[in-house]
Amino acid sequence: MRSKRVRPFTFQTKANMTTQIESETEYPFTAQQLKALTEPQRQAIDAVAEYLTGSTITTNQTDEEITGTFNLLKPCKGCVPSEEAGEDLLNAIRKKFGAVYQVGMELAEGELKQRNYTHFKFCMVVDPSYEDTTHIAMVDYDKPICYLHEWTKAWHLGFQTLGDLADAVLVVKKNLVEKVAKPIEIFVIMDGGLIHEIVDLPDNINVTVIDYDTEGVEKERLEISPVDGKLCTINKW
């Protein structure tokens, strides 16, 4: 659940309060918010802007221009802001979710490739709905693996600030990177014989060798097999 920022209360004149409220309502995404972003947040926001418009945000853009770029992602009562619905509402919803999930996926791909992970091929599947829940799944194009599955109603996907939007994208990126980079453990079950070496084992894979040939083995070396609960010896690679 995304945390909601609460501004400290300050006394203002009625005129100033009215002007501020009108300004915030008209332009929910501002140059001040852009300036306050951390470097990772700025990278995420630039990636979202490029996804939506084909170009990144520049520092000299006005609040109006910045809000125009991210207008699809502002909080609204409907699935998307009315001015963004177009002729195909489902496609607009798909684009809205893609601004968070596809961008997060592409950022994750970039980091994983920099870290020399190549055993994955992301494929994003979106099942959009304007009446109920929209589902997003990140699966592998070549393997029966689901890296991520989330769902929410389209009218719940909206952001108060650029920072909130950036953080949502970065969470998707983080979850995907962790899922791919998490070590895979393989159990090699033996009943007699010895394994002296496992050659060229990938860095992200742990191998647990389970040997049920326990005759003559010191009592201190015996363990319970995590596969079937029998006595065995276990070696990890």
Structural domain boundaries enclosing 194: 184-236
* Residue 227 DSSP class: T
Residue 157 shares a structural domain with residue 223: no
Strand ranges inside the chain, DSSP E = 122-127, 133-140, 146-153, 184-190, 205-211, 223-224, 231-236
Domain match, 120 and 64 both: yes
The answer, yes or no, to whether residue 181 has pLDDT greater than 70, is yes
| Shared domain check, 166 and 192 | no
Residues 25 and 123 both lie in one domain = yes
Residue 190 pLDDT grade (very low, low, confident, very high; cuts 50, 70, 90):
low
How much of the chain, in percent, has pLDDT values that exceed 90?
65
Chain position carrying tokens 């409907």: 78
Q: What pLDDT does 191 receive? A: 65
Same-domain pairing of 109 and 169: yes
For residue 136, what are the β-bridge partners? Answer: 126, 150
Q: With respect to residue 40, please indicate whether it lies within any of the assigned structural domains.
A: yes
DSSP notation for 157-219: ---SSHHHHHHHHHHHHHHHHHHHHSPEEEEEEESSS-----TT--TTEEEEEEE---TT--G
In the predicted structure, residue 206 carries a pLDDT above the cut 90? no
Same domain, 171 and 126: yes
Higher pLDDT, 199 or 91: 91
Q: Is the pLDDT of residue 22 over 50?
A: no
pLDDT at 14: 37
134 vs 15: which has the higher pLDDT: 134
Per-residue confidence (pLDDT) for residue 183, from 0 to 100: 77
Residue 132 lies in a domain: yes
Instruction: Indicate whether 1 belongs to any domain.
Output: no
Average pLDDT, the chain: 86
Specify the CATH number for the domain of residue 92. Answer: 1.10.3100.20
**Do 44 and 155 sit in the same domain of this protein?**
yes
For residue 9, is it within any domain? Answer: no
Question: Are residues 221 and 170 both part of a single domain?
Answer: no
Same-domain check for residues 123 and 109: yes
Say yes or no: 60 and 125 in one domain.
yes
The tens digit of pLDDT for each residue in 132-171 reads 999 999 999 988 889 999 999 999 999 999 999 999 999 9
Task: Tell me: pLDDT of 4 over 50.
Answer: no
Overall average pLDDT of the 39-59 stretch: 95
Q: State the total domains in the chain.
A: 2
Say whether both 92 and 165 belong to one domain.
Answer: yes
Residues 225 and 168 in one domain: no
